[in-house]
């Protein structure tokens, strides 16, 4: 009698052998520090620093880096903080993750509070203050900022200069629209402009937030209370509705980090983009076709004398409470994030400005960049860096941005239905729509039984 | 002939134990736990507060939940009234006697369902591009005056989702219908034809009643699949899309459970969905019996 078929026998033998092998020789656990990052370019820049660190330290203090995607890292860290699953000793978190870490009671935040350490070592004075904002909750700081990420306006200099437009005379968004509008001609006679002035769309929540912050608008105040239906926000929304609809439409949707969007810039279908420093780095690599055709200028202000920049994206280095030996982790973090050589690499490889203000006098920031028609883009970003707006770390931020986006979509629809696109006429409608968004967030916060602690 | 079985009473229970253990640990316990969870508000598993039936009461006035239910219903109706007739139509075409290349066409129509949902969603994201998407490029060549930008994924979210799922699942359902059609006795159709029945009447009074059990099964599968819609809009729209136009019940469950960490509210949504699905399955079963 055959006990097992040959196939089953092979499968069972393999299972037994592999189990035996794993039992006899289990995977060795890394004795040193584990460090998670989400961006491969960051990891590439950190490699030499980590190699040098590991050469100087015992195995228990050596660092091994792992790259995880943002959603994977977010889920694994949250699981670790809330349910005690394994977490690394250090992690580099992206801005969208941080607010989720701060959602519950303060004792549930799984990261080490760095406030006193940053104060005692003088780092609060050395790092650009707005860079701490997204990593702070209830007056405590939970991460070391990796960047500043100021935003400038990138424009197709070849087309703009050919049209004889002098961008130095542009101070406000109204000036911008007036000066650039002659470029929106319909030469092919299809009834639509051949070009649009700005990459913006009413569904782009990140761009809406960026422009609201530039105007001085807030979604939440310093006490994390919603401030969505403010007059500043209503005025910005009323303007944005006019940018995307009706006879005064100046914007088109050219999604960033997307082939279709990139092609729209290359074709000159869209002339300007809200460009944070990190995106300038992406363009340098991904859009060689725009080399020598792009220049940067400060964002036009919402009012004369107003802020000429905003902020977009961000990363922090943080220390999970469940990680090992904090002192060694901290020493490594200082080595990494305060290293002037790394700051230089960050700029040279990614166009990212260091948040450490001591580095801002470095000569490499003044190097002319041929891609941007010889402009010293490092200096251009540093000039506006101290003025980047403060950001909220409310865990309701993502939801609030989604509802403000919905408010703009509804406002645009009302404008189109009524055939009214004038900012002053749209203003009362913008207030109504923002009131709906505000009420939604207030309701959500009120239902949260842990909100009292979160506030 | 009688077989005498002489073993202790506990032996059957002994052999049932592995199944009962697995069933208890992986089915019964999570079900009971999720009922308990639905009565709590949570922030992860550690921070919990008992709220009684508040999660269920809140669902009644939660506009986002209503929107998710509405979107899911529209998608389900789209699946039922567009996808299934198309699948049946394809099956009828492939079932025509003397059709050449039947196997090839069957493979062509079925192949999309072999593609992973995430991959399909990414492909459709390119296809539905507002400016340079393949669909708009084609329409621009065919329809005079078609605008240079047409925002499928902003303005026509449900239409886009139904088109994408039509491509993915019509061929899959077609296979069921084709199998059923091939089991219909040709003599029935011939007899009806001799009696003077036209093609439409033969389809309505001979073919359709014959494939009714399979049609009922495919309908049920389609409803259940549609009510569980998640990955396609989640990847295609990078979330719920503008104004939550792509928000579905399962996506809302995910948002609450895994983005807002309220497993209690997510469990309540899950139970409402489960009861709804059970109701549909029972109704459908009854309908088929009748």
pLDDT (0 to 100) of residue B98: 83
pLDDT (0 to 100) of residue B3: 57
Q: Do residue B44 and residue A83 have CB atoms under 8 angstroms apart? A: yes
Q: What is the C-alpha to C-alpha distance for residues A220 and A389, in angstroms, rounded to an integer? A: 13
Please, what is the end-to-end C-alpha distance for chain B in angstroms?
41
Q: To the nearest whole angstrom, how far is the Cα of A340 from the nearest Cα of chain B?
A: 37
Q: What is the C-alpha to C-alpha distance for residues A268 and A158, in angstroms, rounded to an integer? A: 10
Q: Do residue B43 and residue A450 have CB atoms under 8 angstroms apart? A: yes
Statement: residue B2 has pLDDT above 60: no
Q: Do residue B154 and residue A105 have CB atoms under 8 angstroms apart? A: no
Highest mean pLDDT among A211-215, B207-211, B255-259: A211-215
Q: Which of B59, B131, B149 to mutate to test the interface with A (most CBs of A within 10 A)?
A: B131
Q: What is the C-alpha to C-alpha distance for residues A325 and A309, in angstroms, rounded to an integer? A: 40
Average pLDDT over residues B44-51: 86
Q: Do residue A81 and residue B44 have CB atoms under 8 angstroms apart? A: yes
**Residue numbers of chain A with a pLDDT score lower than 70:** 1-2, 451-455
pLDDT (0 to 100) of residue B121: 93
Q: Do residue B145 and residue A81 have CB atoms under 8 angstroms apart? A: no
pLDDT (0 to 100) of residue A454: 47
Looking at beta carbons, which residues of chain A come within 8 Å of B128?
A: none
Q: Is A352 left (phi over 0), alpha (psi -120 to 50) or beta?
A: beta
pLDDT (0 to 100) of residue A455: 47
Q: Do residue A108 and residue B133 have CB atoms under 8 angstroms apart? A: no
Question: For B68-120, how does the pLDDT look when each residue is reduced to its tens digit (9 = 90+)?
Answer: 999 999 999 998 999 999 999 999 999 988 888 888 998 999 999 898 889 99
Task: Tally the C-alpha atoms within 13 A of residue A2's C-alpha that lie toward its C-beta.
Answer: 6
pLDDT (0 to 100) of residue B25: 95
Looking at beta carbons, which residues of chain A come within 8 Å of B242?
A: 202-203, 405-406, 409
Is the model more confident about B258 or about A403?
A: A403
Nearest beta carbon to residue B261 from set A103, A263, A410: A103
Q: Do residue B147 and residue A449 have CB atoms under 8 angstroms apart? A: no
Q: Which of A71, A203, A416 to mutate to test the interface with B (most CBs of B within 10 A)?
A: A203
User: Would you say A15 and A71 are in contact if contact means Cβ atoms under 8 Å apart?
Assistant: no
Split at pLDDT 50, 70, 90, the class of B149 is confident
Q: What is the C-alpha to C-alpha distance for residues B166 and B141, in angstroms, rounded to an integer? A: 23
The reported pTM is 0.88
Looking at beta carbons, which residues of chain B come within 8 Å of A108?
A: 43-44, 46-47
């Amino acid at each position: 009698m055959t006990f097992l078929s040959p196939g089953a026998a092979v499968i069972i033998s393999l299972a037994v052998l592999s189990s035996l092998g794993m039992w006899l020789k289990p995977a060795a656990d890394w004795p040193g520090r584990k460090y998670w990052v989400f961006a491969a370019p960051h990891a590439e820049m950190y490699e030499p620093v980590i190699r040098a660190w590991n050469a100087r330290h015992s195995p228990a203090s050596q660092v091994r880096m792992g790259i995880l995607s943002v959603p994977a890292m977010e889920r694994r860290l949250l699981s670790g903080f809330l349910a005690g699953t394994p977490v690394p000793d250090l992690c580099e978190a992206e801005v969208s993750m941080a607010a989720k870490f701060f959602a519950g009671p303060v004792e549930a935040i799984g990261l080490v509070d760095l406030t006193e350490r940053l104060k005692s070592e003088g780092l609060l004075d050395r790092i650009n203050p707005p860079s701490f904002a997204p990593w702070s909750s209830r007056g405590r700081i939970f991460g070391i900022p990796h960047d500043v990420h100021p935003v400038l306006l990138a424009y197709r200099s070849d087309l703009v200069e050919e049209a004889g437009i002098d961008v130095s005379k542009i101070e406000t968004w109204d000036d911008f629209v007036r000066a650039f509008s002659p470029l929106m001609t319909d030469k092919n006679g299809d009834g639509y402009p051949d070009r649009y002035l700005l990459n913006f769309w009413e569904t782009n929540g990140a761009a809406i937030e960026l422009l609201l912050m530039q105007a001085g608008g807030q979604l939440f105040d310093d006490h994390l209370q919603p401030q969505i239906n403010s007059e500043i926000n209503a005025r910005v929304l009323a303007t944005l509705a006019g940018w995307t609809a009706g006879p005064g439409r100046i914007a088109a949707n050219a999604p960033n980090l997307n082939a279709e969007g990139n092609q729209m810039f290359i074709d000159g279908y869209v002339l300007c983009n809200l460009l944070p420093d990190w995106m300038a780095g992406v363009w340098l690599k991904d859009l060689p076709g725009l080399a020598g055709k792009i220049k940067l200028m400060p964002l036009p202000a919402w009012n004369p004398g107003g802020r000429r920049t905003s902020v977009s994206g961000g990363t922090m280095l943080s220390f999970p409470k469940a990680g090992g030996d904090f002192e060694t982790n901290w020493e490594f973090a200082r080595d990494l994030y305060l290293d002037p050589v790394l700051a230089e690499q960050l700029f040279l490889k990614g166009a990212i400005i260091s948040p450490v203000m001591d580095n801002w006098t470095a000569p490499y920031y003044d190097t002319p960049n041929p891609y941007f028609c010889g402009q010293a883009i490092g200096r251009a970003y540093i000039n506006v860096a101290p003025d980047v707006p403060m950001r909220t770390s409310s865990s309701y931020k993502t939801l609030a941005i989604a509802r403000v986006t919905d408010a703009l979509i509804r406002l645009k629809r009302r404008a189109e239905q009524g055939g009214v696109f004038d900012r002053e006429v749209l203003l009362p409608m913008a207030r109504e729509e923002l009131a709906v968004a505000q009420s939604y967030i207030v309701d959500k916060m009120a239902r949260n039984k842990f909100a009292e602690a979160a506030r | 002939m009688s077989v005498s079985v002489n073993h202790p009473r506990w032996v059957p229970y002994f052999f049932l134990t592995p199944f009962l253990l697995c069933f208890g640990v992986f089915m019964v316990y999570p079900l009971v736990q999720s009922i308990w969870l639905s009565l709590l508000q949570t922030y992860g598993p550690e921070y919990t507060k008992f709220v009684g039936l508040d999660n269920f009461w809140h669902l009644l006035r939660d506009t986002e939940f209503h929107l998710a239910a509405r979107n899911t219903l529209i998608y389900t109706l789209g699946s039922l009234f567009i996808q299934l007739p198309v699948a049946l139509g394809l099956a009828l075409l492939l079932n025509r006697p003397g059709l050449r290349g039947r196997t090839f066409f069957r493979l062509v129509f079925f192949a999309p369902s072999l593609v992973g949902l995430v991959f399909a969603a990414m492909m459709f994201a390119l296809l539905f591009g507002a400016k340079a998407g393949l669909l708009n490029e084609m329409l621009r060549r065919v329809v005079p005056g078609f605008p240079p930008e047409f925002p499928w994924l902003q303005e026509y979210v449900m239409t886009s989702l139904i088109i994408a799922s039509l491509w993915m699942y019509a061929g899959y359902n077609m296979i069921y219908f084709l199998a059923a059609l091939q089991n219909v006795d040709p003599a029935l159709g011939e007899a009806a034809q001799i009696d003077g029945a036209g093609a439409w009447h033969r389809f309505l009074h001979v073919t359709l009643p014959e494939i009714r059990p399979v049609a009922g099964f495919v309908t049920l599968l389609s409803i259940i699949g549609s009510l569980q819609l998640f990955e396609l809009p989640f990847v295609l729209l990078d979330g719920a899309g503008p104004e939550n136009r792509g928000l579905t019940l399962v996506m809302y469950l995910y948002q609450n459970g895994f983005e807002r960490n309220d497993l209690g509210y997510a469990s309540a949504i899950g139970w409402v969905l489960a009861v709804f699905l059970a109701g549909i399955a029972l109704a459908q079963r009854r309908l088929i019996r009748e």
